[in-house]
Structure 1
Amino acid sequence: MTAVHGAAAEPVLPVPGADDRPAAPARLVAALVAAQFGAYLAVLTPVIVTLAIRVAQVAPDTRAASLGQVLSVGAVLALVANPLFGALSDRTTSRFGRRRPWLLGGMVVGLAGLLLVAVGGTVPLLTLGWAVAQLGVNATLAALTAIIPDQIPDRQRGRVSGLVGMMTSVAMVGGAFVAQAVAGHALLMMAVPGLVGLLCVGWLVLVLRDAPADRAALAPYGLRTFLRSFWVNPLRHRDFGWNWLGRFMVYVGLASLTSYQTYYLVDRLGFSTEQAAGKVFLSTLVMTAATVVGSILGGTLSDRSGRRKPYVVFSAAVTGLALLVVALVDSLPLFLCAVALFGFGQGLYMAVDVALAAAVLPDPRESAKDMGVLNIANALPQSLVPIVAPALPALGAGDGPGGNYSALFVTGAVCGLLGAFAVQLVRSVR
């Protein structure tokens, strides 16, 4: 059984200086990367493809509104679940360790939720299933994110962060392939990504050396402590606060393209809705390939130089330039070129994002909780951008048809650059 207790008074897993810890073994890094891929395959495949199909099957007359309902409930729970389960993971005294019970248990619960989505015959059942899936997978992701500060020495974090970060994009492509391969089979569309995720995370659980929290050093965990898990004082921990703000602004820029490229292809470039679906898949492939290149290159160079902040600035400049190009182009080839540039900049940012975050955590004893708070900064823009973006059409109305997208992408570029500026105010990381 998993035992969960209060905050540790002393570090259970001391995190010595970067030169004091041996390099993480290759099998751990490989399993960590695979687990990241599997978890995101399980949770992103429904978001990208299969959840919309299930909603259309269950409620064809109200599919748009019903899909919004299902996704919004899941998004809110994802925001709550990450820091909550991160805090619980930090306090787990199970003999299986702090992270492993949440890694494996979260994926089992997530798979159960996906299966409910597959067999549910009403929108409330789909909503319930997706809520369970989000809670489960985010419990896994909370523990998964903490493994980098727990287990990876600083001199390796750029490369590992890059490999882990690019798995989000790889999982999106993998999810699209899975959805196409099992099209028409509702159970398989949900079960296959969940099972792959469970197997990948299971591999990490087998190779991970994970010590439990010290029961004797734990204080009670109540409502007040739970509410504190969503807050890190930015005045006491300024580097953490600046990094949170920088991450939030950069992800606003990233979400401005990923959230609206389908409508852009229809309204600006003139494709039909059916054609746009194929073009989005093509752009996702291009973006993923470029993200992989940027992640590997940025992570390797960052570790060799021992510097993180220059790569954040350069990545923001690259993605900002790409968004400006998207705002101006009127042809698919130029759009794909801009998407490739965008993906490369995104990969550079992901290569140092987690490494930089791990270096500014207020307390290694609460690494999962604090990484969960940081994860709000990249999850929140994915909900806020679709809400705020409809206010931009008036700003671009003078540009003619599709001018609103120019305003959206320029705003995204500016937000990304502001995020890079915020990261420059972090003092404890070069």
Structure 2
Amino acid sequence: MMKMSRAKGRTAGLFGWRASRHDDRLLLLLAVANAGGVIAYVPLLTLLLPAHMAELAGDDRIAWLSAATLAGAIAASLANVAFGWASDARWSRRGWAATGLCLTMLSYALVHRAASPQALVVAIVAFQIALNMLLAALTAWTAEAVPDRRKGLLGGLLAAGQPVGALAGVIATAPILTTGWMRLMAVCVLMLIAILPVLAFGARPRIQATAVAEPARSPPAARRRDFLLLWAARLLVQIAGVTVFGFLLYYLATLPAPPSDAGVARLSAIASILAFPVALRLGVVSDRMGRRRPFLVTAAAVAGAGLAMMGWTVDFAAQAVGFVVFACSAAVFLALHAAYAMELLPSPARRGRDLGILNLANTLPSVAAPLLTLWLVPHYGFAMLIRLLALAVLLAGVCVLLVRRDGVPLSARRAPPRGP
């Protein structure tokens, strides 16, 4: 009878994995909450902030928007490391996340009430600090709660964040929302819908209590070396992604037969729509194989080929194919990289701190991409910039190849035994 009751407590699990209903529920709640974190910043930073800055700064809007973006990126980088470390040291991940959520909503009020460009820059810095209190705790909680055998699936689900954030931007700028305050409130509501369930129902991770056997720990120096290689690989791919997506419209405008703005928007939408299911499926396959590195190296090689197609052709159709290939491959790389990095963190007791350091590879490209573009494009043109980015992505694949440890051990790939 005991065996039968245990069997009933299991389901086939998401995408065929045998897992408990609790495991499935917690994984989905955390994935949705992380998408909520993306909702918190994508509509604001890409749509609402530029519009508000244009109202306040007029002809100086580009300079002030650049200042707000740079100051916000610096604040986000430092805050993510600091709050990740703090959530390791004291209090609970849930407590830090809940506090960050409340402060993020308050920071929206500061953004709305900003009456000068200077005040808006300060409000964005406050927003980034509050948001990264939320994101640092959520990311560390996710790394703790989801076992290694399912982190590929997790990475695929996290890839939904950007499309969901873009959809939130469409909702927040709907014609029915006629004022800036109404749009910010819409973002708040969407964020709360995504994040509150995990705060309310996401119990403290039980998976760690049933400790899945970890592989033999490498020496500290080897773990730090592998982590540094993974950090560099993510940085290189993110620089390529931020540069290509940020300057795609300007680059395609240099072609002999440039597309319309609407055509560029459709191309970006197609790439985003295709990237998520590809990343999700390959994440599941990597879980079943218990390997990440072959998928990451292949994704980097294919992404580099896509950029090479963009850098050595002038036909828009070839450019479009190259861009979609790059966007999908980069999404797969970043999704599986998240899973791989969570498995190879240098110290399990310092997940928040280490994930904050890893997050620098997401924020620094926002500073590096414009500087790289300003350095290269005026002298050598966009094509040379794209070719250099292709080499950077291929170098990211080499960094992954140099990581020594790969593979979730068989004991970790099996569902852990659960008590009555």
Q: Any idea what the Cα deviations from partners look like across 1:34-56, whole Å, max 9, x if unmatched?
A: 11111111111122211110000
For residues 205 and 111 of structure 1, the distance between their equivalents in structure 2, rounded to whole angstroms, comes to 16
For residues 166 and 420 of structure 1, the distance between their equivalents in structure 2, rounded to whole angstroms, comes to 23
Matches within 5 A, 1:260-275: 260-268=247-255, 275=260
Equivalent of 1:365 in 339, 349, 353: 349
For residues 194 and 71 of structure 1, the distance between their equivalents in structure 2, rounded to whole angstroms, comes to 21
Change beyond 3 A, Cα 1:312–1:128: same
The CA deviation at 1:150 is 0.4
Matches within 5 A, 1:276-425: 276=261, 278-393=262-377, 396=380, 404-425=381-402
Flag structure 1 segments of 5+ consecutive residues without an equivalent: 1-18, 212-232, 397-403
For residues 335 and 131 of structure 2, the distance between their equivalents in structure 1, rounded to whole angstroms, comes to 23
Q: Any idea what SS the aligned residue of 1:209 has?
A: coil
Task: Check conservation: 1:148, 1:157, Cα contact below 8 A.
Answer: no
Structure 2 counterpart of 1:104, one-letter code: A
Q: Structure 2 length as normaliser, TM-score? A: 0.83
For residues 177 and 309 of structure 2, the distance between their equivalents in structure 1, rounded to whole angstroms, comes to 35
Flag structure 2 segments of 5+ consecutive residues without an equivalent: 1-16, 206-219, 408-420
Matches within 5 A, 1:96-111: 98-111=92-105
Q: Report the equivalent of 1:171.
A: 165
Q: Kindly indicate whether residue 411 of structure 2 is the aligned counterpart of residue 427 of structure 1.
A: no
For residues 419 and 24 of structure 1, the distance between their equivalents in structure 2, rounded to whole angstroms, comes to 36
Structure 2 counterpart of 1:417, one-letter code: L
Task: Check conservation: 2:258, 2:316, Cα contact below 8 A.
Answer: no
Q: Any idea what the Cα deviations from partners look like across 1:45-86, whole Å, max 9, x if unmatched?
A: 122211110000111121111111111111110110111110
Q: Kindly indicate whether residue 55 of structure 2 is the aligned counterpart of residue 26 of structure 1.
A: no
For residues 122 and 330 of structure 1, the distance between their equivalents in structure 2, rounded to whole angstroms, comes to 43
Task: Check conservation: 1:55, 1:63, Cα contact below 8 A.
Answer: yes
Task: Check conservation: 1:286, 1:340, Cα contact below 8 A.
Answer: yes
Q: Report the equivalent of 2:86.
A: 88
Task: Check conservation: 1:145, 1:368, Cα contact below 8 A.
Answer: yes
The CA deviation at 1:429 is 1.5
For residues 127 and 55 of structure 2, the distance between their equivalents in structure 1, rounded to whole angstroms, comes to 19
For residues 128 and 242 of structure 1, the distance between their equivalents in structure 2, rounded to whole angstroms, comes to 35
Structure 1 counterpart of 2:63, one-letter code: A
The CA deviation at 1:113 is 1.4
Change beyond 3 A, Cα 1:49–1:69: same
Q: Report the equivalent of 1:55.
A: 53
Q: Any idea what the Cα deviations from partners look like across 1:241-269, whole Å, max 9, x if unmatched?
A: 11111111222222221121122233336
Query: How large is the Cα RMSD of the aligned pairs?
Result: 2.4
Structure 1 counterpart of 2:246, one-letter code: S
Task: Check conservation: 1:104, 1:201, Cα contact below 8 A.
Answer: no
The CA deviation at 1:271 is 5.7
For residues 112 and 266 of structure 2, the distance between their equivalents in structure 1, rounded to whole angstroms, comes to 27
Task: Check conservation: 2:223, 2:345, Cα contact below 8 A.
Answer: no
Matches within 5 A, 1:74-223: 74-93=72-91, 98-181=92-175, 184-210=178-204
